[in-house]
Structure 1
Amino acid sequence: MSTTLSQKPKLSLDNPDLRAWKAQVNGNGPVSTPGIFSSAFLQETGAMTRRLFIQLQRRPSTLIAGIIQPVMWLILFGALFQNVPQGLFGESQNYGQFLGAGIIVFTAFGGALNAGLPVMFDREFGFLNRFLVAPLASRYSIVVASAIFIAALSLVQTAAIIGLSALLGAGLPDPVGLGLVILVVLTLVLGVTALSLGLSFALPGHIELIAVIFVVNLPLLFSSTALVPLSFMPQWLQFVAALNPLSYAIEPIRYIYLHPGSWSLSSVVMHAPFAEVTMGAALAILLAFCGVSLALIQPLLRRRIA
């Protein structure tokens, strides 16, 4: 018995499905999508965020290391300078109280700086291409999900550091101050995450992104007020630290710790070489940094994913 194989269909412009698709695109303009102000966008953002948390559940070492490292910094550095004369670090009762704000901010900064790595790995393994050809309400859900994931991890790390600092004698902020600490952390995380995600689309691979992270990480730490006050620094480094965005996140948190319940937006939190910086001014600078970061990555995101 002989069988006759049907002729293999040709992929050509004569394909009726292809003609219908071209007519929809060319005749009626771009295919409309629900956009970011829709329930579909929220649904797909939630699904992508859940995917990142599933990855974290399968590899919890990332979260564990992200909590253990700042805890070790807090314990070891706090013990290293525990015998310094009182008052050497400003109004802080001990070095652990002074260091706590710096550890909170630097941990959040480090996590946000690594935010682009999952997206970069998705690029290299081909998962990002699958997202880009999927019928998404908005491809911005890819970056929004990453920002939500990093913000959640930062809050977990911040809670762990605040709890340990309290056990080590640093005290606790008042409830309103605690809310402001969270606001400061989230604002910094959003701005740095935006830059990291921009780099994940701009750089050719994860090796280059990791190199940028290593180059940026420690210089920004040591050129901020995380470890020592401005008065300890040489004049040139004081100017650098006063221009470092991390300092404008560290000093408000430190002031809230030192003045629970008695701080205000007009409180002077940093004596920079060029001016006295108030709580309100520091928050405004942080918000401006976040806004500039988001504005800088918009053209790149439109080219890559829009």
Structure 2
Amino acid sequence: MMWSQEVLALSRRWLLMVLRERLNLLFSVLQPAVWLVFFAGAMGGAVDARVVGTGDYIAFAVPGVIAFTVVGNGITAAMPLLFDKETGYLDKLLSMPIRRSSLIVSRFVFQVGMNSAQVLVILLVALVLGVRPASGALGVLAILVATGLLTLALTAAAMALACAVPSHGTFFAVTGFASLPLLFMSNAFVPLSAMPGWMEAVARVNPLTYAIEAIRLLVLRGWSSGVPLALGVLVVASALLLAVGAWQFARQTSERIA
């Protein structure tokens, strides 16, 4: 009971930090929908329908825009922890009689909620543009599950990095270098079959590929055997990254306490 109260209290802190900048919150929620309208709308006429497997490139691009959003949010999810560490506030939190796990879990809870809101906005805009998920209303819930797993994986990786690096400058340098290759070496905007062999091999070990595959199947084809397979791989990847993130956070915070 105490642990859940700690998680809720810390989650409320993250929420209050966002609500203080309401204009930033508004643009953060709406920005992915703008990407969908302009990017997918502009690219649709230049993409061969035989390559992507559908004549509706906006429907094809919806999972990629969702993944793009989660990647960006995964990076920003670690920033409060990073600045808490640099300002010394993290040491104050660690000196309190709370479990260290509540610090991490509260960030996951908040980030999954934020990402879910953005995904729903993307799906609503896609609906206005004529995209109807083939899997129906239950498919939307499955899309939120896939998004939540991907959020867990990327947030854990970003928070592990935030604990390990000496300053926010190094953090932004590493994430700025890695974020776009992570996105483009996946099936976000082109299918795996259209990639060079080496890039396809990299994409097949990228967790984004499996989240995007599950969402794309739910949007374009409905319920199929590929959905649980992709979600299963995503669960394993999320568990591994979560284990790494928890280990790194525990190691760094125990050193700070010492």
Q: What TM-score do the two structures reach when normalised by structure 1? A: 0.78
Tell me which moved more, 209-218 or 73-82. Answer: 73-82
Match of 1:223 in 2: 185
Query: In 2, are the aligned partners of 1:226 and 1:250 still within 8 Å (CA)?
Result: yes
Which residue, out of 37, 41, 55, partners 1:93? 55
Any idea what SS the aligned residue of 1:250 has?
Answer: helix
Q: How far apart are the structure 1 equivalents of 2:78 and 2:40?
A: 31
Query: In 2, are the aligned partners of 1:121 and 1:206 still within 8 Å (CA)?
Result: yes
Q: How does 1:140-159 map to 2 (within 5 A)?
A: 140-159=101-120
CA 1:210/1:60 → structure 2, altered by over 3 Å: closer, same or farther?
A: farther
Query: In 1, are the aligned partners of 2:149 and 2:238 still within 8 Å (CA)?
Result: yes
Matched, 1:207 2:155: no
Which residue, out of 281, 290, 306, partners 2:229? 281
Match of 1:55 in 2: 17
Identity across matched positions, percent = 32
Any idea what SS the aligned residue of 1:290 has?
Answer: helix
Match of 2:243 in 1: 295
Which residue, out of 101, 122, 131, partners 1:161? 122
CA 1:295/1:210 → structure 2, altered by over 3 Å: closer, same or farther?
A: same
Q: How does 1:243-262 map to 2 (within 5 A)?
A: 243-260=205-222
Q: How far apart are the structure 1 equivalents of 2:245 and 2:181?
A: 23
CA 1:177/1:303 → structure 2, altered by over 3 Å: closer, same or farther?
A: same
Matched positions, count:
253
Which residue, out of 174, 177, 189, partners 2:151? 189
CA 1:86/1:169 → structure 2, altered by over 3 Å: closer, same or farther?
A: farther
Query: In 2, are the aligned partners of 1:114 and 1:213 still within 8 Å (CA)?
Result: no
Q: How far apart are the structure 2 equivalents of 1:58 and 1:298?
A: 29
Which residue, out of 167, 170, 182, partners 2:131? 170
Query: In 2, are the aligned partners of 1:87 and 1:93 still within 8 Å (CA)?
Result: yes
Query: In 1, are the aligned partners of 2:64 and 2:212 still within 8 Å (CA)?
Result: yes
Q: CA deviation at 1:201?
A: 1.2
Q: How far apart are the structure 1 equivalents of 2:244 and 2:228?
A: 24
Q: Which amino acid aligns with 1:93?
A: G
Q: How far apart are the structure 1 equivalents of 2:159 and 2:44?
A: 39
Structure 1, unmatched stretches of 5+, are 1-38, 267-277
Q: What do the CA deviations read for 1:196-223 (whole angstroms, capped 9, x no partner)?
A: 1111111111111111211111111111
Q: What do the CA deviations read for 1:284-304 (whole angstroms, capped 9, x no partner)?
A: 111111111122133322223
Matched, 1:44 2:3: no
Q: Which amino acid aligns with 1:122?
A: D
Q: How far apart are the structure 2 equivalents of 1:146 and 1:228?
A: 32
Any idea what SS the aligned residue of 2:90 has?
Answer: helix
Q: What do the CA deviations read for 1:26-45 (whole angstroms, capped 9, x no partner)?
A: xxxxxxxxxxxxx1111121
Which residue, out of 234, 250, 253, partners 1:305? 253
Q: Which amino acid aligns with 1:149?
A: F
Structure 2, unmatched stretches of 5+, are none
Q: How far apart are the structure 1 equivalents of 2:140 and 2:59?
A: 15
Q: CA deviation at 1:94?
A: 1.5
Query: In 2, are the aligned partners of 1:140 and 1:305 still within 8 Å (CA)?
Result: no
Q: What TM-score do the two structures reach when normalised by structure 2? A: 0.91
Which consecutive segments of 4 or more residues in structure 1 shift more than 4 A?
none
Tell me which moved more, 291-300 or 207-216. Answer: 291-300
Q: What do the CA deviations read for 1:250-302 (whole angstroms, capped 9, x no partner)?
A: 01111111123xx23x2xxxxxxxxxxx3332111111111111221333222
Query: In 2, are the aligned partners of 1:191 and 1:293 still within 8 Å (CA)?
Result: yes
